Amino acid sequence: MSISRTIPCLAFFVAGLCSCSSPSLKAPAAEVSSFLEAKPPLKADRTLSPFALSGGSLVTTKQKIYIAPVSLTYLRQISKPLVKESEANRQKAARELADYAREQFAAAFRNSPAARYQVEAEPGPDCLTLELAFTELNPNTFTGTVSRFAINNLALPGTDVLFAKATRGMKGNVAVEGKVSGEKLIYQFADNEESKSAFLLPVTDLAEYGQAREAIRDWAKQFELMTRTAAGEPVKDSSVISWF
């Protein structure tokens, strides 16, 4: 078989492999912080929830939601071995991402074709309150991006996908925790997302926190969809695979 035919076949094989095993390639849940509470208890069930851990119900009689400023109180130290970012620079980026996350969660409701809740500028007795906290934030690195690009271009196409777990230390990641309350706490979730495995160039890695912004946009859309999905109905998670 010629090389021109071998490469597409290999890519097709890898794509098939990923479609079967992608849930196992998801970044593991980050350690849960004291931001979350004991009840409702968190469970790991990606067949229903797009989040690594979740618990409780978002279905209420209320029709409004207030999205609080995102907390950085629980943000842990940099943990990736390739990251050389100063803590001061990371804190600055974290504050920008916190503002971005609040905007994106609000936008997810405002842009939804059938939003269950209306976003309010202030909390109130007739509102739910969504609180979010970042617990991990590791930027993408030049070394990690170049290494993963080399793997994909000097070895077999899609090798980064096959070795997604082994290359985890080369990837940026962001972890979030969230809780929703009315008169009492009704729902909690936690998730951790890393740079997607790529068949070619890992594009999100070209921006230092590009992966984090992509993850935030996904979380916002998934959360809004969770609020209007019947109990027991699954909400699809974002893919761990990128074609670029």
pLDDT at 142 over 80: no
Q: Which residue has the higher pLDDT, 144 or 96?
A: 96
Q: Rounded to a whole number, what is the distance in angstroms from the first to the last CA of the chain? A: 26
pLDDT band at 74 (very low <50, low <70, confident <90, very high): very high
Please tell me the distance from the alpha carbon of residue 12 to that of residue 130, in angstroms, as a whole number: 42
Place of tokens 């990923």: 18
Query: For residue 239, which of 220, 221, 215, 206 has the smallest C-alpha distance?
Result: 215
Gap between the Cα atoms of 51 and 236, Å rounded: 10
Structure confidence at residue 187 (pLDDT): 97
Distance CA 211, CA 204 (A): 5
- Averaged pLDDT of the chain: 82
pLDDT at residue 8, as a whole number:
47
CA distance 138 to 211: 10
Question: Six-digit token pair at 123?
Answer: 């909390």
Predicted local confidence at residue 23, as pLDDT: 58
Query: What integer pLDDT is reported at residue 6 of this predicted model?
Result: 38
Distance CA 88, CA 144 (A): 21
* pLDDT tens digits, one per residue of 177-194: 999 999 999 999 999 998
pLDDT value for 10: 43
Q: Retrieve residue 212's tokens.
A: 């984090």
3-state SS class at 125: coil
Q: What percent of the chain has pLDDT over 90?
A: 51
| Per-residue pLDDT at 117 | 96
Residue 127 has pLDDT above 70, yes or no: yes
Between 79 and 225, where is the model more confident? 225
Instruction: Decide which of 210 and 186 is more confident.
Output: 186
Take residue 44 and report the two structure tokens written for it. Answer: 């790991």
Closest listed residue to residue 109, CA positions, set 190, 218, 216, 220:
220
Please say if the pLDDT value at position 21 is more than 90. no
Model pTM?
0.82
Fill in the amino acid letter for 170.
M
Q: Please list, residue by residue across 182-207, b when 16 or more beta carbons sit within 10 angstroms of its beta carbon and e when fewer do.
A: beebbbbbbbbbbbbbbbebbbbbee
Q: State yes or no: pLDDT of 62 exceeds 60.
A: yes
> Residue 164 corresponds to which tokens in the numbers above?
């997604």
**C-alpha span between 22 and 198 (Å, rounded):** 12
pLDDT at 202: 62
**Radius of gyration of the chain measured on its C-alpha atoms:** 19
